[in-house]
A = this chain, B = another copy of it.
Amino acid sequence: MSVQAEPVGAQHDGFPALYAEVLRFYARQMRFLDDGAAEEWALTFTEDGMFAPPSLPEPLRGRGTLAAGVKQAKAEMAESGEVHRHVVSMVDVQANPDGSVEARSYVQVIATPRGGEPNLYMMTTCHDVLVRDGGELRVSERRVRRDDRPSA
């Protein structure tokens, strides 16, 4: 993506294509996460991608670390029999002059036990920096905050 003189607003020619691409990116990325597809999930980040979840004191960095986290979560869910779903909504997309893309969203996290009712157990906001890398959008920085810990 070439360097642009100014941010791309919703009425820019390239916006509809970018917006659709970002929505589909999240659909695929979160499905990888919820299915426990650790390697596919890790590839939706850049090689040195950073993920700052609210549950850890330090951000995770790099695909190996990211994949390991998903593998562990998958093993825990297999044991508990729970299915998790990350539902991304209210996606705001802004293309930066340097070619990166900032995406802000809400994320509902829903857990369903085997034979039980689904439970909306966490509401978060997500702030991503996406970059084009090998033709694909990937997350270079992700910061997540929980609504139950507004000051964290």
Interface residues of A (CB under 8 A from B): 10-11, 15-17, 19-21, 23-28, 30-31, 81, 83, 85-93, 104-106, 108, 110, 112-123, 135, 147-150
Contact A120 B121 (CB under 8 A): no
In whole Å, how far is A79's beta carbon from the nearest beta carbon of chain B?
Answer: 13
Contact A114 B150 (CB under 8 A): yes
Enumerate chain B residues within 8 angstroms of A116, measured Cβ to Cβ.
Answer: 148
Given the interface pairs A16-B16, A19-B23, A135-B11, the reply to whether A147 lies near B118 with Cβ below 8 Å is yes
Enumerate chain B residues within 8 angstroms of A17, measured Cβ to Cβ.
Answer: 11, 15-16
Tell me, in angstroms, the Cα distance from A19 to B31 when the chains sit together: 18
Tell me, in angstroms, the Cα distance from A15 to B16 when the chains sit together: 10
Given the interface pairs A90-B87, A108-B110, the reply to whether A10 lies near B20 with Cβ below 8 Å is yes
Contact A89 B92 (CB under 8 A): no
Tell me, in angstroms, the Cα distance from A62 to B115 when the chains sit together: 30
* A105, closest chain B residue (CB): B27
Contact A123 B110 (CB under 8 A): yes
Given the interface pairs A27-B91, A30-B90, the reply to whether A118 lies near B121 with Cβ below 8 Å is yes
Given the interface pairs A110-B123, A122-B118, the reply to whether A92 lies near B27 with Cβ below 8 Å is yes
Tell me, in angstroms, the Cα distance from A149 to B81 when the chains sit together: 10
Which residue among A25, A90, A123, A150 has the maximum number of chain B CB atoms within 10 Å of its CB? A90
